[in-house]
Amino acid sequence: MNTTPVWSVDARTGDRTGEVAVEADTAAVDAAVRAAHAAQPALADRTLRAAFLRAAADRLEAHGEELIATADRETALGTGRLTGELARTTYQLRSFADIVDEGAFLDVVIDHADPKAAPAPRPDLRRWKVPLGVVGVFAASNFPFAFSVPGGDTASALGAGCAVVVKAHPDHPATSELAAAALREAAVAVGLPADVLALVHGRQAGVDLVQHPLLNAAGFTGSIPGGRALFDLAAARPAPIPFHGELGSLNPVVVTEQAAAERAEEIGAGLAGSFTLGMGQFCTKPGLVLVPAGAAGDRLEKALAEGAVDSPSGALLDARMRAGFLAGFAERAALPGVSVPVRAGEDGYAVRAGYLSVAAARLAEDAHEVLLEECFGPVTVVARYRDAAEVEAVLGRLGGNLTATLHAEPGEADAADLLARLTPLAGRVLFGGWPTGVAVAPAMQHGGPYPATTSTGTSVGGTAIERWLRPVAYQGVPEALLPVELRDGSVGVPRRVDGVLER
């Protein structure tokens, strides 16, 4: 039996504050998945699981003070941010309850039998979606609530009717334990088995989880190497499973000459606020900003530098990220042609934000490729371009992203072409504004081409539920044996019946 302790660490000091759990060994992971698998059928009742999601939100709010204090100690994200994140998380749980009640996600399609159909007679066919089974959720470092135990992957998977086994992130094990307990309590309170949600700790536990024969899908938020390793394991299984991984994103921003001329100070200050928000620990942080060479761009950089200098220092999530950020900044700053208008650095155990500036033409050099890779933490790279060809050259070197942003003036002739150019690069394309801040809304898309995401799904917004379902068609089944949602008459869910969409 694995007795490796799991420590809670104070993110502001790096000190261990207590032993929270032990790492799950292979047998413990197996037990968790089997228990979830056994609990899974209880989630078939849509009314019950909507009630569960709402009860989970209520419990999290009831335990809010302790959750926020614990998360603040473990992540240093601050009680203000964490209060907002918890509100976002409970809103998300309740949103999925509404989605479960509405039933549109079931994608019901009914075709009545038509013996005279051309080119061939048609049997009675009724299609809807059923839960995939047990889902593994790999929690994120940077959102101890919204992308962790009670986060969007969990909420959407439970909403789909899947039991969930969460692999906790080592940055916030105590928060994870508290949140898992709240969710399990909520399950029991509404009459579901507690094991519809389980929690495991430890790196090997994650490896065991994604390979477990009874796991049917996984969701992941984290780094490109870690996510790719798990994706590869998921794909190499005897029976491969869907792996929805959000791995990393540079989130390019293009500022046109005209936008810089009109709004240099606003854009510079906005960029400073966005790349330092949450100490730059957002997957949507703008990491590469294409700014015109010349006077307007200079004004933009001046405002950016002022904002960066003014932004308060702060602790990063953990010591590894701290080291990675400092080393990543230094590596980039040392490249030929890269200037360092604001140097990042240490402030005791905390760090200060910084930014780099480089001629866009340099980004065509292989040695500078690292500037096109995400560096977690409060750093961004400004690339100064002289013409449209240089913008195109940089964009042509980018992989997939969660977001891409255009700052242009509405009447600009090139704006439409630039938006069209950014669309293949990202899952969310912004006109103005900043990509940090991901609204929980039906139209959100938080997921983009690889490596941003390993699938075409989204991990935020109502359609996140689609990732955990598969369609099943029933042919010739008597009405009495069909799920109520597939029977004739008014059953309260939107459907397509004989080709016609019904509300």
Binders in 76-95 for its own copies, by CB under 8 A: 84, 87-88, 91
Nearest-approach distance from CB 89 to its own copies, in angstroms: 9
- Chain residues 471-500 in contact with its own copies, contact rule CB under 8 A: 471-478, 480-481, 494, 496, 499
What is the DSSP code (8-state) at residue 23? -
Give the count of residues interacting with its own copies (CB under 8 A).
80
Nearest-approach distance from CB 255 to its own copies, in angstroms: 15
- Residue 219 lies near its own copies (rule: CB under 8 A): no
- Residue 235 lies near its own copies (rule: CB under 8 A): yes
- Residue 428 lies near its own copies (rule: CB under 8 A): yes
Place of tokens 């993110």: 11
**Known catalytic residue: 375?**
no
CA angle 421, 422, 423 (to 5 degrees): 95
Find the part of the chain contacting its own copies (CB under 8 A) among 158-166, 366-374, 376-384, 428-436: 428-436
Which of 115, 336, 348, 410: binder of its own copies (CB under 8 A)?
A: 410
Q: Dihedral of CA 297/298/302/305: which sign?
A: positive
Interaction pattern, residues 447-476, with its own copies; x per rule: CB under 8 A: x-xxx--xxx-x--xxx-----xxxxxxxx
Residue number, 348 or 410, with CB nearest to its own copies: 410
Q: Compute the distance between CA of residue 50 and CA of residue 105 in angstroms, rounded to an integer.
A: 13
Residue number, 320 or 470, with CB nearest to its own copies: 470
Q: What are the angstrom distances between the C-alpha of 357 and each of 102, 197, 293, 336, 407? A: 50, 47, 11, 11, 18
Of 100, 32, 132, whose CA–CA distance to 457 is shortest? 132
Residue number, 5 or 494, with CB nearest to its own copies: 494
- Amino acid 205 reads A
Tell me if residue 5 falls in helix, strand or coil. Answer: strand
Q: Compute the distance between CA of residue 43 and CA of residue 461 in angstroms, rounded to an integer.
A: 21
**DSSP string across 121-145:** -B--EEEEEEE-SEEEEE--SS-TT
Which of 213, 337, 433, 492: binder of its own copies (CB under 8 A)?
A: 433
Which of 232, 347, 387, 488: binder of its own copies (CB under 8 A)?
A: 232
Which of 1, 334, 443, 489: binder of its own copies (CB under 8 A)?
A: 443
Residue number, 63 or 122, with CB nearest to its own copies: 122
Find the part of the chain contacting its own copies (CB under 8 A) among 2-10, 258-266, 356-364, 441-449: 441-449
Which of 125, 181, 189, 350: binder of its own copies (CB under 8 A)?
A: 125
Which of 140, 199, 429, 465: binder of its own copies (CB under 8 A)?
A: 429
SS3 content of the chain, % helix, strand, coil (to 5): 45, 20, 35
Nearest-approach distance from CB 213 to its own copies, in angstroms: 11
Residue number, 281 or 463, with CB nearest to its own copies: 463
Find the part of the chain contacting its own copies (CB under 8 A) among 69-77, 118-126, 292-300, 339-347: 118-126
**Which pair of structure tokens corresponds to residue 486?**
């597939």
Q: Compute the distance between CA of residue 156 and CA of residue 38 in angstroms, rounded to an integer.
A: 19
- Chain residues 37-66 in contact with its own copies, contact rule CB under 8 A: none
Of 162, 283, 375, 390, the active-site residue reads 283
**Known catalytic residue: 162?**
no
Residue number, 6 or 67, with CB nearest to its own copies: 67
Residue number, 185 or 409, with CB nearest to its own copies: 409
Element (H, E) at 497: strand 495-497
Of 460, 442, 355, 363, whose CA–CA distance to 402 is shortest? 460
Find the part of the chain contacting its own copies (CB under 8 A) among 51-59, 73-81, 172-180, 425-433: 425-433
CB 182 within 8 A of CB 20: no
What is the DSSP code (8-state) at residue 53? H
Q: What are the angstrom distances between the C-alpha of 71 and each of 13, 15, 112, 306? A: 14, 15, 53, 31
Tell me if residue 478 falls in helix, strand or coil. Answer: coil
Q: Compute the distance between CA of residue 497 and CA of residue 407 in angstroms, rounded to an integer.
A: 44
Q: Which active-site residues does the annotation give?
A: 246, 283
